[in-house]
Amino acid sequence: MTRTLTLLGATGSIGASTLDLVRRNRDAWQIDALTAHCSAAELAALAIEFGAKLAVVSDESCLPELRDALGSSGIEAAGGRAALVEAAARPVDMTVAAIVGCAGLAPVMAAIERGGTIALANKEALVSAGEMMMEAVSKHGATLLPTDSEHNAIFQCLSGNRMSDVAKITLTASGGPLRTWSAERLHAATPAEAVAHPNWSMGAKISVDSATMMNKGLEYIEAYHLFPVGLEKLGIVIHPQSVIHSMVEFRDRSTLAQLGPSDMRVPIASCLAWPRRMDTPMPALDLAAIGELTFFPPDETRFPATRLAREAIRAGGSAPAILNAANEIAVAAFLAGQIRFTRIAALVEETLARSNDAPRPASLDEVLAVDQSARLQARSLLETNALV
């Protein structure tokens, strides 16, 4: 049976992995909408290849280029943030949410509000709007399938179990490309060094997040909302081989883990086929060839991001949204050569310290207002002591 699918963030790394799976199962899927920010030519080529009904660029200034590239294909084109939200609100069987950053929040909420099934890779949306998003999921009867590899692993381990029997959920972290670097060396890490992830091939922003460990910080907050066992039952362990994607220990001291190749097509396939399974092109897991799985505690002195995330969960209110917004600004500044690597977490911490304790944002507009004001605060801190 053919199912309809909308892919938000089609031109990115998760977008490409999703479309690779769809390409191998063409009869199973009918693409409704594909979206990008401004990669118009790339988006048009994908829309034509997959016979999409609608292609949307969220940056409206890129719409003429999209129209040109779509030519006489008959595919509808649209541009701007409202058009992106409208695309996400169209009824489909599955929405893959693969936009990077809080920019993906409004379209994800639109998909949730129409009670859709959403494969959520866009962790920043959930971090910024945790409680509000989870409430909307239950209010509108939406289904949220965690696509982030750790959360997908936990989701699989929890299947058939009761949340009240969970003793501990442990997120694994590769530790990123700079895991073994000294504090002095970290200070001078370049963008090229930070994005050179040893196990995963990903977009630039999440690659930097992996190097700072903010990716694990964001995932901590993500797990806190997706699997409500309480902060004290959530842990992190460094596992450089990225073979175990996360694990759940139950009250009887039985631990279930999900293992697999470090390729996002595996968790994406688990969402696309859910509650069944589908083939992926990945080779079988060869543990004898891998040889060794190792584990270490996180070092929050060199990598303070997971501490900041834990503090943001404890502080509650708008702190997670502020943490996320400041991190987006800091990562962009680092990639642009404006700040040093170690300033990323420092800027997040300073932005949190200077932001007023605001109550938990209760609506999409309130979350977006917190996000905007935290971005302004982070930018003004950047201007005062950029390269320190």
In the complex, what is the shortest distance from the CB of residue 218 to ligand NDP, in angstroms, rounded to a whole number? 7
148: contact with ligand NDP by CB under 6 A: yes
Taking the complex as a whole, the smallest distance from the CB of residue 304 to ligand NDP amounts, in Å, to 19
Smallest gap from residue 241 Cβ to Mg ion (A): 15
Spatial distance between the Cα atoms of 121 and 301, rounded to a whole number of angstroms:
28
Contacts of 332 (CB under 8 A, 6+ apart): 205
Q: N- to C-terminal Cα distance for the chain? A: 58
Q: Which two tokens stand for residue 164?
A: 């009240």
CB under 8 Å, gap of 24 or more: what pairs does 56-60 form?
A: 56/83, 56/84, 56/87, 58/83, 58/84, 58/103
- If binding is defined by CB under 6 A, does position 219 make contact with ligand NDP? no
Binds ligand NDP by CB under 6 A, chosen from 6, 11, 174, 246: 11
Q: Which is nearer to Mg ion, 150 or 263 (CB)?
A: 150
Q: Which residues bind Mg ion (CB under 5 A)?
A: 148-150
Q: Contact between 124 and ligand NDP (CB under 6 A)?
A: yes
Looking at the Cβ atoms of 50 and 274, the one nearer to Mg ion is 274
The CB-nearest residue to Mg ion is 148
- Residue 331 interacting with ligand NDP (CB under 6 A): no
Instruction: Tell whether residue 15 is a contact of ligand NDP (CB under 6 A).
Output: yes
Site for ligand NDP contains 174 (CB under 6 A)? no
Reading the block at residue 64, the tokens are 């003429």
The window from 13-21, 85-93, 133-141, 327-335 that contacts ligand NDP (CB under 6 A) reads: 13-21
Q: Do residues 185 and 177 touch, judged by C-beta distance below 8 A?
A: no
Long-range contacts of 101-105 (CB under 8 A, 24+ apart): 101/205, 101/328, 102/128, 102/321, 102/324, 102/325, 102/328, 102/367, 102/368, 102/371, 103/37, 103/58, 104/8, 104/9, 105/129, 105/364, 105/367, 105/368, 105/371
Q: Which of 75, 142, 153, 206 binds ligand NDP (CB under 6 A)?
A: 206
Determine contact, residues 90/68, Cβ cutoff 8 Å: no
Interface pick for ligand NDP out of 105, 202, 248, 257 (rule CB under 6 A): 202
In angstroms, what is the minimal distance from the CB of 49 to ligand NDP?
Answer: 15
Of ligand NDP, Mg ion, none, which one does residue 200 interact with (CB within 5 to 8 Å by kind)? ligand NDP
Listed ranges 10-18, 227-235, 312-320, 379-387: which one lies at the site for ligand NDP (CB under 6 A): 10-18
Choose one: 5-13, 186-194, 224-232, 281-289; the region binding ligand NDP (CB under 6 A).
5-13
CB 87 within 8 Å of CB 65: no
The residue among 124 and 371 lying less far from ligand NDP, judged by its C-beta, is 124
130 binds ligand NDP (CB under 6 A): no
Q: Which stretch binds ligand NDP (CB under 6 A): 18-26, 35-43, 127-135, 157-165?
A: 35-43
Buried b (16+ CB within 10 A) or exposed e, 260-295: bbbbbbbbbbbbbebeeeeebeeeeeeeeeeeeeee
Query: Is residue 128 a contact residue for ligand NDP (CB under 6 A)?
Result: no
Site for ligand NDP in 95-114 (CB under 6 A): 98-100, 103
Examine residue 38 and tell whether it contacts ligand NDP (CB under 6 A): yes
CA 28 from chain center: how many Å? 25
Q: Which is nearer to ligand NDP, 31 or 99 (CB)?
A: 99
> Residue 379, class by beta-carbon neighbours within 10 Å (0-12 exposed, 13-18 middle, 19+ buried)?
middle
Please report the beta strands in 219-318, taking only residues with DSSP state E, as ranges in sequence order.
234-238, 244-250, 255-259
Asked if residue 247 binds ligand NDP (CB under 6 A), the reply is no
Both structure tokens of 241 = 């081989």
Helix (H, G, I), strand (E, B) or coil at 121: coil
201 neighbors 13 (Cβ within 8 angstroms): yes
In the complex, least distance from residue 222 CB atom to ligand NDP, rounded to whole angstroms = 9
User: Within 297-316, which residues bind ligand NDP (CB under 6 A)?
Assistant: none
Q: Tally the residues of the chain.
A: 388
Q: For 79, list phi and psi in degrees, rounded to 5.
A: -145, 155
CB of 86 or CB of 167, closer to ligand NDP: 86
Task: Note the residues at the interface with ligand NDP (CB under 6 A).
Answer: 9-15, 36-39, 58, 98-100, 103, 121-124, 148, 200, 202-203, 205-206, 264
